[in-house]
Amino acid sequence: MNILAVGDIVGNCGINKLKAELKNIKNKYNIDFCIVNGENAAEGMGLTIKNFKDIISAGANCITMGNHTWGKKEIFQIIDEPELLRPINYPEGVCGKGYNIFTCNSKKIAVINAMGRAEINVQTENPFLQVKKVVDEIKPKVDMIFLDFHAEATAEKQAMGYFLDGEITAIFGTHTHVQTADEKILEKGTAYITDIGMTGPKNAILGMDIQAALKRFLTALPEKYKIATGEAILNACIFEVNDNTNKVIKIERINC
Is residue 38 within 8 A of residue 52, CB to CB? The reply is yes
* Euclidean distance between CA atoms 62 and 82, whole angstroms: 8
Is residue 160 within 8 A of residue 172, CB to CB? The reply is no
| Helix, strand, or coil (residue 26) | helix
Q: Which helix (H) or strand (E) holds 237?
A: strand 232-241
Q: Give CA angle at 2 (157, 137), nearest 5°.
A: 55
CB within 8 Å of 84: residues ≥ 6 apart: 47, 52, 62, 63, 65, 78, 96
Report the DSSP pairing between strands 33-37 and 62-64.
Answer: parallel
| Helix, strand, or coil (residue 96) | coil
User: Catalytic residue at 150?
Assistant: no
* Euclidean distance between CA atoms 26 and 214, whole angstroms: 37
**Radius of gyration (Cα) for the chain, nearest Å?**
17
Q: How many helices (H) and strands (E) does the chain have?
A: 5, 13
Q: Name the active-site residue from 68, 150, 175, 177.
A: 68
Neighbours of 118 (CB within 10 A): 12
Is residue 133 within 8 A of residue 112, CB to CB? The reply is no
**Residue positions annotated with a catalytic role:** 68
